[in-house]
Chains A and B, each alone.
With several copies, the nearest count.
Chain A
């Protein structure tokens, strides 16, 4: 499903993620594609985007892509070396605008599973790491963006385990559960498209489709009924300038952008 030779699918997704980030806002970011997106945003339209890592680094100047959210590479030239409490409590207080999450499964309400595959908690078919900070960030940050490969195995009617809350069972469910009002899933960036959520039903709704991808591709690769926005656009392709920055400054070794997304 590689759209053209000018850029990789990952480069398209990283740029789509970068475009979501506003200047002068805060984001708690993990490793991998989301961090490449944040770095690209800082080097283009959002120089004052404040990047935080859940383990305690605040507003670093990133020199290389970290492999751990607590590693030295998250702390270079930081404005503050703090702790996980300060970061997570800031999220809970409402000062963190964006976060990025991944997962093994996602459903139409944006609920994410990164704990297990199977039906028996005590003896899962596949044990995955668990929440880590994902549940906290999905619960507390204002806008959650998920990046996830678009297959029926991952876009499922019902996740095997709700590790991190999306809109749970639908409208009002987050608030009823005690989660902060007005927070929740914002966008899903997949290998096929960019999706948001219908304000009324809180169901996933396709907003833009990647170049070369058809509606039928979406339907064939989605395990639930995907809503389509009234005017679905084509996902903006990376500009040559964005690609140059990505390849020369953000990820010169191509650790992320030349990687195909694991399925």
Chain B
């Protein structure tokens, strides 16, 4: 058996999760509120946070900025396929621990200098996983199970620095990896359409967001647009998240900017490159954050600083995915 030494930030206590979900309101209420209200109400210092999307695709930028703007402390973060989302939180200094399948990297955009500095000087407690491993941790939680077996990570240092456990299959006798359920304190998912109660549609690939929405104890939805509940009843095959899982619904058009939003707008590579450049030094980074987050009241003001509606129109025009008619 391989020695496994990583820290388990969120133990898979399914009975505690059941007790929480038992008490969670399932009432049909209008959950619309501002991003500021949602963050203040549902995110607290020390919480373990997870976000939907894929780093530079369909991320809840407005909520991430608000978390930084409010200077939260000691948040835990699930670094699952995270690029610009992690970059915002890491640059804002709100994190103290992180489960990692992918951070610091920006896919083809290179590496985040500040994210590297943070980890290289040991400023974050970290535990390693794979993308599937972390995704299955959400799925275990969504299924109400304390763990799921897996056949990945085995034999690697990724396993060694994880907090998984090796088990033996009671049927085949083979060695398997048990990945523990992950119930985030709060998850934030940006979607295409929601109604006022929280029913939500995601267009294009859902990545791991169906499982994440079910695994999270509290769930904040930011949406490109609000649509009538009747639309969900006309197309129940498109519903990804039913309202009783949701705590807050925030209308944020362009809400994934500068990351792309499939079927809506492409990414702003210029601004994301500026962001990486601004991370060159602590000083240049602070100036950049002052300008775009701390001294900026909200997401609309941030958009305005980057060209606002005109810029968004350019990015919409460049979006490769077009909706099929009918």
The answer on direct contact between A and B (beta carbons under 8 Å) is yes
**Nearest chain A CB to B222's CB is how many angstroms away?**
18
Q: What 1/0 flags go to B178-217 for Cβ under 8 Å of A?
A: 0000000000000000000001000111111111001000
Instruction: Specify which chain A residues have a CB less than 8 angstroms from the CB of B207 in the assembled complex.
Output: 55-56, 70, 83-84
Q: Which of A31, A90, A140 touches B152 (beta carbons < 8 Å)?
A: A140
Whether A70 contacts B161 by the Cβ 8 Å rule is: no
**Does B274 belong to the interface (CB within 8 Å)?**
no
Instruction: Specify which chain B residues have a CB less than 8 angstroms from the CB of A177 in the assembled complex.
Output: 2, 154-155, 175
The complex places the Cα of A79 from the Cα of B235 at a distance, in Å, of 8
**Does A180 belong to the interface (CB within 8 Å)?**
yes
Q: Which of A68, A85, A123, A131 lies at the interface centre, i.e. has the most chain B CB atoms within 10 A of its CB?
A: A131
Whether A94 contacts B18 by the Cβ 8 Å rule is: yes
Instruction: Specify which chain A residues have a CB less than 8 angstroms from the CB of B170 in the assembled complex.
Output: none
Instruction: Specify which chain B residues have a CB less than 8 angstroms from the CB of A67 in the assembled complex.
Output: 56, 107-109, 267, 269
Instruction: Specify which chain B residues have a CB less than 8 angstroms from the CB of A77 in the assembled complex.
Output: 233, 236
The complex places the Cα of A126 from the Cα of B18 at a distance, in Å, of 38
**Does A58 belong to the interface (CB within 8 Å)?**
yes
The complex places the Cα of A56 from the Cα of B54 at a distance, in Å, of 11
Whether A48 contacts B175 by the Cβ 8 Å rule is: no
The complex places the Cα of A133 from the Cα of B101 at a distance, in Å, of 8
The complex places the Cα of A188 from the Cα of B144 at a distance, in Å, of 27
**Nearest chain A CB to B143's CB is how many angstroms away?**
4
CB nearest to A129 among chain B residues: B105
Q: Which of A35-79 contact B (CB under 8 A)?
A: 48, 50, 53-59, 61, 63-64, 67-79
Q: Which of B24, B81, B266 touches A70 (beta carbons < 8 Å)?
A: B81
Q: A55-B207, A75-B205, A123-B120 are in contact. Are A131 and B260 (CB under 8 A)?
A: no
Q: Which of A133-176 contact B (CB under 8 A)?
A: 133-136, 139-140, 142, 161-165, 168, 173-174, 176
Whether A142 contacts B236 by the Cβ 8 Å rule is: no
Q: A79-B199, A81-B204, A181-B15 are in contact. Are A130 and B128 (CB under 8 A)?
A: yes
**Nearest chain A CB to B232's CB is how many angstroms away?**
5
**Nearest chain A CB to B204's CB is how many angstroms away?**
5
**Nearest chain B CB to A254's CB is how many angstroms away?**
14
Q: Which of B104-153 contact A (CB under 8 A)?
A: 104-105, 107-109, 111, 115-116, 119-122, 128-133, 135-136, 139, 141-145, 150-153
Q: Which of B30-65 contact A (CB under 8 A)?
A: 53-58
The complex places the Cα of A93 from the Cα of B20 at a distance, in Å, of 10
The complex places the Cα of A35 from the Cα of B57 at a distance, in Å, of 19
The complex places the Cα of A111 from the Cα of B121 at a distance, in Å, of 26
Q: A75-B262, A127-B119 are in contact. Are A178 and B151 (CB under 8 A)?
A: yes
Whether A75 contacts B116 by the Cβ 8 Å rule is: no
**Does A26 belong to the interface (CB within 8 Å)?**
yes
Q: Which of A115, A124, A136 touches B131 (beta carbons < 8 Å)?
A: A136
- How many residues of chain A get a CB closer than 8 Å to chain B's CBs? 82
Interface residues on B, range: 35 or more
**Nearest chain B CB to A247's CB is how many angstroms away?**
20
**Nearest chain A CB to B209's CB is how many angstroms away?**
8
Whether B321 contacts A93 by the Cβ 8 Å rule is: no
Whether A123 contacts B121 by the Cβ 8 Å rule is: yes
Instruction: Specify which chain A residues have a CB less than 8 angstroms from the CB of B232 in the assembled complex.
Output: 79-80
The complex places the Cα of A72 from the Cα of B236 at a distance, in Å, of 13
**Nearest chain A CB to B50's CB is how many angstroms away?**
14
Q: What 1/0 flags go to A92-134 for Cβ under 8 Å of B?
A: 1111010000000000000100010000011111111111111
Whether B237 contacts A174 by the Cβ 8 Å rule is: no
Residues on B facing A (Cβ under 8 Å): 2, 14-15, 17-22, 24-28, 53-58, 79, 81, 83, 100-105, 107-109, 111, 115-116, 119-122, 128-133, 135-136, 139, 141-145, 150-158, 161, 166, 174-177, 199, 203-211, 214, 229, 232-233, 236-237, 239, 242-245, 260, 262-263, 266-267, 269, 319-321
Give 16 A-B contacts (CB < 8 Å), ordered by A residue: A70-B81, A76-B321, A79-B239, A83-B209, A89-B143, A91-B144, A92-B144, A93-B144, A123-B121, A128-B111, A129-B102, A129-B105, A131-B128, A135-B156, A180-B14, A181-B19
Residues on A facing B (Cβ under 8 Å): 23-26, 31-32, 48, 50, 53-59, 61, 63-64, 67-85, 88-95, 97, 111, 115, 121-136, 139-140, 142, 161-165, 168, 173-174, 176-182
Known: A61-B233, A79-B199. 17 other contacts (CB 8 A): A25-B26, A53-B205, A67-B107, A71-B57, A72-B262, A73-B320, A76-B321, A83-B206, A93-B21, A95-B245, A130-B158, A133-B132, A139-B151, A140-B151, A140-B152, A162-B155, A179-B154
